[in-house]
C-alpha cells in the first residue's frame, strides 16, 4: 500500500519561530489533507490540498504532486500551535475516500 | 455545533459488556468512516460506508460491528472487547464527490478504555 512519511517526528520551537513540516508519499494521490490534533483528540482540518499552494493566516501549505510531497509552514508560532500535525492522503486509484495517515509531527511551542 | 458529532466522549467498559458508539454528521455527506487511533500508532481506517452501504472492512475483528441506518448516522457496536482495543475511535464523513471536493471532516472522538 501507499506509504506516508512525516518529518520531523518531534519539533520544539520558541514562540515566534517559523517551522516547516514535511509529508512524503509513495504513490499518486487525489486527496491530501493536513490536520492538527488538539489535546482532546479532535482532528482539526487545516488544509485540503491535493496540489498547489494555500494560505490561511499564519499557516500555509504546498503540495507538489508530481514529486510526491507536501509541506506545511507555520510562521510566528504560538503556544496554541502545540499538538500533533498529521498528513493524510488518498490514493488516486482508491474510490472509497480512504485516508492513509502519516505518523505525525509532535510540535511543542515554548513561551 | 460541529459538523460531525460523536457520543459518548469517554467510555469505560468491561470485557463482557456490550456498548455502542454513535456518530452523526450534519454536513450532507454521503460517506462515513470509523478510524482507530491507538497509542504510538497512526490512525487506521476500520470501516467505510458510502450511501449506507459498507464498501470497506479493513480486516477488523468481528467484535466490532458497524451499522449505518442512513447517510447521517453511523454506529459502532462493541462486544467482548479486549484491553488492547482501548483507543481513540474517530468518526469522519466526506462528500466522496469524484468530480470535486472529497475533504473529510472528523468528530471529536470517543476515548475507549476496556478493563
Q: Does A92 touch chain B (CB under 8 A)?
A: no
The pLDDT assigned to B57 comes to: 84
pLDDT given at position B101: 65
Residue with cell 503556544: A79
A39 shares contact with chain B (CB less than 8 Å)? no
**Among A95-99, B63-67, B110-114, the least confident range:** A95-99
Asked if A65 contacts A52 with a C-beta cutoff of 8 angstroms, the reply is: no
Q: Which residues of A13-50 are buried (b: 16+ CB within 10 A; e: fewer)?
A: beeeeebebebebeeebbbbbbbbbeeebbbeebbbbb
Among residues B8, B2, B1, B4, which one has the least CA distance to residue B93?
Answer: B4
* Residue B100 binned pLDDT confidence (cut-offs 50, 70, 90): low
pLDDT reported for residue A1: 86
SS3 B104: coil
8 Å CB contact of A103 and B43: no
Q: Are strands B73-79 and B87-94 parallel, antiparallel or unpaired?
A: unpaired
Residue B88 touches partner A, C-beta closer than 8 Å: yes
Q: Does A30 touch chain B (CB under 8 A)?
A: yes
The 10 Å Cβ neighbour count of residue B28 is 10
Residue B1 has pLDDT above 80, yes or no: no
Best mutation target, A38, A97, A105, to test chain B (most B CBs within 10 A): A97
User: In angstroms, how far is CA B84 from the centroid of its own chain?
Assistant: 17
The torsion region of residue A102 among left (phi > 0), alpha (psi -120 to 50) and beta comes to: beta
CB contact under 8 A, A101 and B42: yes
Model confidence at B65, pLDDT cuts 50, 70, 90, reads very high
Region of poorest pLDDT, from A10-19, A48-57, B17-26, B38-47: B38-47
- pLDDT over 80 at B99, yes or no: no
Amino acid at each position: 500500500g501507499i506509504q506516508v512519511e512525516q518529518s520531523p517526528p518531534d519539533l520544539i520551537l520558541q514562540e515566534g519561530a517559523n517551522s516547516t513540516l514535511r509529508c512524503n508519499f509513495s504513490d499518486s494521490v487525489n486527496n491530501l489533507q493536513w490536520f492538527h490534533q488538539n489535546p482532546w483528540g479532535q482532528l482539526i482540518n487545516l488544509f485540503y490540498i491535493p496540489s498547489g499552494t494555500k494560505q490561511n493566516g499564519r499557516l500555509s501549505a504546498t503540495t507538489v504532486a508530481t514529486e510526491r510531497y507536501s509541506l506545511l509552514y507555520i510562521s510566528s508560532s504560538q503556544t496554541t500551535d502545540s499538538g500533533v500535525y498529521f498528513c493524510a492522503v488518498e490514493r488516486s486509484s482508491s474510490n472509497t475516500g480512504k485516508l492513509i495517515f502519516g505518523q505525525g509531527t509532535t510540535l511543542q511551542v515554548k513561551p | 455545533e460541529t459538523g460531525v458529532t460523536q457520543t459518548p466522549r469517554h467510555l469505560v467498559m468491561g470485557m463482557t459488556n456490550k456498548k455502542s458508539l454513535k456518530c452523526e454528521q450534519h454536513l450532507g455527506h454521503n460517506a462515513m468512516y470509523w478510524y482507530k487511533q491507538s497509542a504510538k500508532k497512526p490512525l487506521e481506517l476500520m470501516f467505510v460506508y458510502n450511501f449506507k452501504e459498507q464498501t470497506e472492512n479493513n480486516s477488523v475483528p468481528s467484535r466490532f460491528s458497524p451499522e449505518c441506518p442512513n447517510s447521517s448516522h453511523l454506529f459502532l457496536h462493541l462486544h467482548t472487547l479486549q484491553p488492547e482495543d482501548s483507543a481513540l475511535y474517530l468518526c469522519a464523513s466526506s462528500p466522496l464527490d469524484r468530480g470535486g471536493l472529497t475533504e473529510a471532516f472528523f468528530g471529536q472522538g470517543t476515548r475507549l478504555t476496556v478493563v
